[in-house]
């Protein structure tokens, strides 16, 4: 059975061989008309060819239609408007999708391998505390996108970049040590810009339980040389970090690593419970241990893209559309986060991926030009890197906005959200809008069991399919060979068949556009079509051939709902 769009395209190509043999390089576009009266597919090829052929579009369209070979899948063609060719498919062409679904099962909608390796890097939150609901949207989007790309034929590598070598980890280590000192009666004022959450006290308690007073130092030594918070809050924090490293010496690594291990472990467990699993957790620290940061900067310097000013080393990012040049190495010899990112992307290219997709928060928009500029400056192809921006989600409960803030500790964690609304609602609601669009997450709606809740509405359609098949009590496996699909001819059935036919193309489009929300939209439409059919018709009718045909359609609908929900990381319950 041919893919219907490919089949129609081939028919047009054969007609063009007769009408305009020299025009075969013209792109043939087939789209779904917005109005059903305009057929199942529409093509504007005659309008594209009219000018080069110096003829009227409708005349070209008529010649193409007259030259179209006969096809059992096409009932009729019509010329509409300025010269559109509208194709009306036969019922048989729509009915055959049921057989295709029942024969392929979970593989329905999945394309053959295209041989391309793509890396999707997402979440990559600093391991300085529990994941919050903002991270949750990036996690749900990235995981769903990776699933969609895999279904579209890509070999997908899912990666989390662990910022385990920067200042934020030092702030977390310091915060943990200061809370530990508190537990031991050492009174050092806790900086307002340190990490405030209860999880910091939990880590401090672990240190105290295992090591007692081993890491105690006098308050004046901890504060030695630090400016006041009022005078220089960040400088105060940096001096406390320097003092901690000096006073604790080799023991500082223990506290730093404990904080990293605890928070990274918590993050990994949280994501795993959310159905988000990574193939690689890539350590920023490894970039320094392998001297890749130095090698990447040496490559930029060799190509003439670095300069020294005021003791610091700068990358000429303004040459690549950035608003100002960027420091890669500070006057004190420390590398910046940007230097690490340059090296990390060099590493990605050296691993041989065909395409790279970074899922970033929308607040990183300004970072795109400098990263792509660094790739180009190293002689790499920036076109291989795509940045998918994700807006943070805003929670609403009872119509009121729920506030959150990482450093202050007053945030709603992803774990709390999952506990309140469940994994399925969280995963679905997060991808219900295009990733770069603002998302209002209505907690009350996500928990409601009504048709207004899209995930409930879709899962209920799946459960209804299961209920019909259980009530029938037969063996579903026999439907593929024994059902007479020609019996599927009423409008509800033809609408549902048309929707089922659209699923593989929807998966392909979602992959091309990096848009898993298209799967969510599709599933809502498919569920609506099925609920309408369910409410209007009986399935277990007396006529056996009609009964088996309808059951086959129910089974195909159930399979497609399940396949689509799986791409979004949402379960398909059999009972509700």
Q: How far apart are CA 97 and CA 495, in angstroms?
A: 12
Residues in contact with 567: Cβ distance below 8 Å, sequence separation at least 6, in sequence order: 144, 147, 148, 151, 507, 516, 519
8 A C-beta contact, residue 426 and residue 140? yes
Note the pLDDT of residue 406. Answer: 47
- Residue 410, both tokens: 């007053």
Q: pLDDT tens digits for 33-84?
A: 988 888 999 999 999 998 888 899 999 999 999 999 999 989 999 999 999 9
Choose among 126, 139, 150: nearest CA to 407: 126
Q: CB neighbours (10 Å) of residue 570?
A: 28
Indicate the helix (H) or strand (E) that contains 10.
Answer: helix 4-19
Note the pLDDT of residue 1. Answer: 46
Residues in contact with 331: Cβ distance below 8 Å, sequence separation at least 6, in sequence order: 310, 311, 312
Residues of the chain with confidence (pLDDT) below 70: 1-2, 23-24, 404-410
Note the pLDDT of residue 486. Answer: 95
Q: Which residue has the tokens 């399935």?
A: 539
8 A C-beta contact, residue 564 and residue 522? yes
Q: How far apart are CA 466 and CA 357, in angstroms?
A: 38
Q: CB neighbours (10 Å) of residue 7?
A: 16
Say whether 387 sits in a helix, a strand or coil.
Answer: strand
Q: How far apart are CA 480 and CA 100, in angstroms?
A: 9
8 A C-beta contact, residue 427 and residue 570? yes
Phi, psi angle pair for 179, to nearest 5°: -65, -35
Any alpha helices (H) in 88-132, and if so which ranges? 91-104
8 A C-beta contact, residue 131 and residue 138? no
Q: What does the angle CA 546 – CA 549 – CA 552 come to, to the nearest 5 degrees?
A: 150
Residues in contact with 309: Cβ distance below 8 Å, sequence separation at least 6, in sequence order: none
Beta strands 439-442 and 393-397, pairing class: parallel
Considering all CA atoms of the chain, what is the largest pairwise distance in Å, rounded to the nearest integer?
A: 94
> In whole angstroms, how far apart are CA 329 and each of 293, 298, 374?
10, 12, 15
Q: How far apart are CA 505 and CA 36, in angstroms?
A: 18
Choose among 569, 526, 565: nearest CA to 97: 526
8 A C-beta contact, residue 519 and residue 568? yes
Q: Which residue has the tokens 């062409």?
A: 93
Residues in contact with 394: Cβ distance below 8 Å, sequence separation at least 6, in sequence order: 401, 402, 438, 439, 440, 441
Note the pLDDT of residue 37. Answer: 87
pTM of the model: 0.92
Q: pLDDT tens digits for 92-139?
A: 889 999 999 999 999 999 999 999 999 999 999 999 989 999 899 999
Q: How far apart are CA 417 and CA 434, in angstroms?
A: 21
8 A C-beta contact, residue 141 and residue 435? yes
Note the pLDDT of residue 61. Answer: 94
- Residue 103, both tokens: 């024969």
């Amino acid at each position: 059975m041919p893919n219907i769009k490919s089949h129609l395209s081939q028919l047009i190509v054969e007609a063009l061989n007769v009408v305009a043999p020299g025009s075969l390089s013209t792109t043939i576009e087939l789209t779904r008309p917005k109005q059903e009266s305009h057929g199942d597919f529409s093509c504007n090829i005659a309008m594209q060819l009219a000018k080069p052929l110096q003829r009227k579009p409708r005349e070209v369209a008529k010649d193409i239609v007259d030259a179209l070979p006969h096809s059992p899948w096409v009932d009729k063609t019509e010329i509409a408007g300025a010269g559109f060719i509208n194709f009306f498919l036969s019922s048989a062409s729509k009915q055959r999708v049921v057989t295709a679904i029942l024969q392929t099962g979970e593989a329905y909608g999945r394309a053959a391998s295209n041989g391309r390796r793509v890396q999707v890097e997402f979440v990559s939150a600093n391991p300085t505390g529990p994941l919050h609901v903002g991270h949750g949207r990036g996690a749900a989007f990235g995981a769903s996108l990776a699933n969609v790309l895999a279904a579209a034929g890509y070999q997908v590598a899912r990666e989390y970049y662990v910022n385990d070598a920067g200042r934020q980890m030092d702030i977390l280590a310091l915060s943990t040590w200061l809370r530990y000192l508190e537990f031991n009666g050492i009174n050092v004022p806790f900086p307002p810009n340190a990490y405030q959450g209860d999880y910091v006290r939990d880590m401090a308690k672990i240190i105290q339980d295992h090591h007692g007073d081993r890491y105690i130092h006098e308050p004046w030594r901890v504060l030695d040389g630090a400016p006041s918070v009022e005078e220089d809050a960040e400088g105060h924090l940096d001096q406390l970090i320097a003092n901690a490293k000096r006073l604790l010496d080799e023991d500082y690594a223990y506290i730093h690593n404990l904080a990293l291990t605890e928070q990274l472990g918590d993050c990994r467990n949280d994501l795993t419970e959310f159905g988000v699993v990574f193939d690689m957790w890539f350590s920023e620290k490894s970039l320094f241990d392998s001297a890749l940061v130095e090698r990447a900067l040496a490559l930029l310097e060799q190509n003439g893209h670095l300069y020294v000013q005021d003791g610091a080393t700068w990358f000429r990012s303004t040459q690549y559309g950035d608003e100002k040049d960027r420091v890669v190495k500070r006057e004190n010899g420390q590398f910046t986060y940007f230097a690490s990112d340059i090296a990390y992307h060099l590493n990605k290219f050296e691993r041989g991926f065909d395409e790279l997709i970074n899922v970033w928060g929308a607040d990183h928009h300004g970072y795109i030009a400098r990263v792509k500029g660094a790739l180009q400056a190293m002689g790499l192809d920036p076109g291989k890197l795509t940045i998918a921006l994700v807006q943070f989600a805003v929670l609403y409960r009872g119509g009121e906005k729920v506030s959150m803030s990482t450093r202050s500790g007053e945030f709603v964690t992803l774990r709390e959200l999952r506990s309140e609304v469940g994994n399925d609602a969280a995963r679905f609601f997060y991808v219900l809008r295009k990733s770069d669009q603002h998302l209002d997450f209505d907690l009350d709606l996500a928990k409601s069991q009504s048709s207004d809740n899209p995930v409930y509405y879709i899962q209920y359609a799946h459960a209804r399919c299961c209920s019909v098949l259980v009530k029938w009590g037969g063996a579903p496996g026999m439907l593929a060979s024994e059902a007479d699909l020609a019996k599927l001819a009423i409008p509800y059935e033809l609408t549902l068949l048309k929707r089922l036919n659209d699923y593989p193309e929807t998966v392909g489009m979602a992959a091309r556009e990096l848009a898993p929300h298209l799967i969510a939209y599709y599933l809502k439409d498919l569920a609506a079509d099925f609920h309408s059919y369910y409410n209007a018709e009986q399935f277990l009718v007396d006529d056996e051939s009609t009964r088996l045909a309808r059951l086959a359609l129910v089974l195909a609908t159930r399979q497609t709902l399940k396949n689509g929900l799986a791409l979004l990381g949402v379960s398909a319950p059999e009972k509700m």
